[in-house]
């Protein structure tokens, strides 16, 4: 099998109607923050138990096509001793891996960020692949203020995403390209649209320069949203309309899938926004789906609370959110489904 065949096989398995991606790639500081409200210590065993709960939840393979893992997870096993990545693959769920090393300030460019991790990436991908990993994810972030992100910051981050994606494809790994325009701030919907459009145009220009095959990648963008401190409430239909306007201007039709991040939205709002996009724009060239972390996991954590006796209840919570987002991917979600068992 050629590398191109490998990449295409992974894309076909990941981009399926009614299915999306579970982001379970929380770094150690992030998962500690997730565990704190449920009074659970972030130990290696607790993290293993929680990820086992997620990856073995009955029925999620009907709605989840891929899972983004954190590097630690590759060495973890189920209670029966099966590697967690293998447990996913046995159910037809594609294992993936977060490969960036986190963000920091871009030197001499106040307000801009850059993500680390290109050094040694090719060697790491080879190791991950031997453990069953078939796709990767890299995130660049853009904070909105009066003066940022700057043109320089946007260009630098696009270059990082493109170099990462090219390295992935050279090793038969499908890259998820994740540019996240952050919700933090009081900016308007229009300001977010302006920045998101500029960011995505620059990214696809960089991907073209680096010979990245668009048919063998997935885009994981933010939805176009007003800042979390903005005072005007925006309906899901308006978010869908503005988001799709930006995507039509920036994303080539060759890209097979756009899997949105939830970026701090509530589980219900993330599902409603995705549904509005698929209901109101059914004929776009890409599959519009989800790659949610907190918006899938928040009810799970609350149900689990770190207690073994709550595992089945927590797995039911995950299945419900996965099922509702699967319905949203098809444009068939209704708010009344939230109150159903």
Does residue 175 register a pLDDT over 80? yes
Domains along the sequence of the chain with CATH: 3-339 (3.20.20.70)
pLDDT (tens digit per residue) in 229-240: 888 889 999 999
Residue 288: band (very low, low, confident or very high) from pLDDT cuts 50, 70, 90? very high
Residue 297 has a pLDDT of 97
Mean pLDDT of the chain: 96
What are the residues facing 196 on neighbouring strands?
none
pLDDT (tens digit per residue) in 268-284: 999 999 999 999 999 99
Q: φ, ψ for residue 24 (rounded to 5)?
A: -125, 45
Residue 196 has a pLDDT of 98
Question: First and final CA of the chain: distance in angstroms?
Answer: 44
pTM of the model: 0.96
DSSP state of 228: T
| Whole-angstrom distance, CA of residue 257 vs CA of residue 243 | 15
Q: Determine if residue 319 is left, alpha or beta; phi over 0 gives left, psi from -120 to 50 gives alpha, anything else beta.
A: alpha
Residue 228 has a pLDDT of 86
| Whole-angstrom distance, CA of residue 90 vs CA of residue 252 | 33
Closest by alpha carbon to 257, among 221, 228, 212? 221
| Whole-angstrom distance, CA of residue 9 vs CA of residue 51 | 26
Residue 263 has a pLDDT of 87
Does residue 340 register a pLDDT over 80? no
Does residue 96 register a pLDDT over 80? yes
Going through the chain in order, the beta strands assigned E by DSSP cover 20-24, 64-69, 94-98, 103-105, 113-115, 135-142, 174-181, 218-219, 257-260, 287-292
| Whole-angstrom distance, CA of residue 307 vs CA of residue 303 | 9
The catalytic site residues sit at 220
Residue 341 has a pLDDT of 58
């Amino acid at each position: 099998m050629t590398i191109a065949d490998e990449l295409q096989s992974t894309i076909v398995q990941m981009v399926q109607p009614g299915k999306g991606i579970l982001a379970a790639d929380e770094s150690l500081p992030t998962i500690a923050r997730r565990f704190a409200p449920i009074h659970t210590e972030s130990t290696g065993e607790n993290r293993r138990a929680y990820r086992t709960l997620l990856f073995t939840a009955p029925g999620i393979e009907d709605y989840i096509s891929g899972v983004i893992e954190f590097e630690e997870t590759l060495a973890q096993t189920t209670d029966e001793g099966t590697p967690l990545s293998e447990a996913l693959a046995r159910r037809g769920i594609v294992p993936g891996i977060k490969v960036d090393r986190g963000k920091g300030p871009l030197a001499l460019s106040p307000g801009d960020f850059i993500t680390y991790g290109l050094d040694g990436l090719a060697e790491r991908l080879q190791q991950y692949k031997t453990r069953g990993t078939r796709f990767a994810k890299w995130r660049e972030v853009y904070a909105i203020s009066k003066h940022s992100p700057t043109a320089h910051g946007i260009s630098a981050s696009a270059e990082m995403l493109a170099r990462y994606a090219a390295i992935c494809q050279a090793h038969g790994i499908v890259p998820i390209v994740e540019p996240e325009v952050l919700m933090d701030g009081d900016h308007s919907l229009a300001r977010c649209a302006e920045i998101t459009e500029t960011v995505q145009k620059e990214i696809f220009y960089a991907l073209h320069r680096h010979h990245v095959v668009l048919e063998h990648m997935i885009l994981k963008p933010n939805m176009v949203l007003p800042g979390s401190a903005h005072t005007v409430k925006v309906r899901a239909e308006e978010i869908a309309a503005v988001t799709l306007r930006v995507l039509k201007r920036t994303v080539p039709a060759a890209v097979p899938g756009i899997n949105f991040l939830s970026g701090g939205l509530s589980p219900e709002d993330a599902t409603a926004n995705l549904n509005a996009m698929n209901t109101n724009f059914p004929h776009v060239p890409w599959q519009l789906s989800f790659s949610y972390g907190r918006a899938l996991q928040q009810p799970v954590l609350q149900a689990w609370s770190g207690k073994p006796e709550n595992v089945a209840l927590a797995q039911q919570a995950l299945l419900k959110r996965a099922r509702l987002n699967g319905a949203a991917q098809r444009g068939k979600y209704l708010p009344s489904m939230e109150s159903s068992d």
